[in-house]
Amino acid sequence: MNRDILRELAEVIDARRSADPETSYVASLHHRGLDVMLKKLGEEATETVIAAKNPDDQALVSEMADLWFHAVVVLSARGLQPDDVLEELGRRFGLSGIAEKASRTNAGKHSG
């Protein structure tokens, strides 16, 4: 059941993008633009970090849910889906974090 929740959430977010911004939070975010969405994502990331520093596990779960929600909104704005991120995580699975990071760093460098 929970395995499909990100996909279902993305479908709802995509469907609400063109709704009335007065009645849909998602539509209001899309209407106000990417910078507003990114600001909200940053705020949620900060709130998640603060919650992680405190002993209340439910607060951390709640803030993480907000963070993931806003991350899916940003993906939607860019025409991407949670599956794109999951595929990237799958690609990295089994690689050491150090080797994976090095592959990204080396891929960005030009020879010559």
pLDDT tops 60 at residue 73: yes
Q: How far apart are CA 59 and CA 66, in angstroms?
A: 11
Q: Which amino acid, residue 6? A: L
Q: What is the pLDDT of residue 2?
A: 76
Q: How far apart are CA 37 and CA 44, in angstroms?
A: 11
Q: How far apart are CA 10 and CA 71, in angstroms?
A: 10
pLDDT tops 60 at residue 1: no
Domains of the chain in start order, with CATH, are 2-83 (1.10.287.1080)
DSSP character at residue 17: T
What pLDDT, in 10s, does the model give residues 16-71? 999 999 999 999 999 999 999 999 999 999 999 999 999 999 999 999 999 999 99
Is the separation of the CB atoms in 64 and 48 below 8 Å? yes
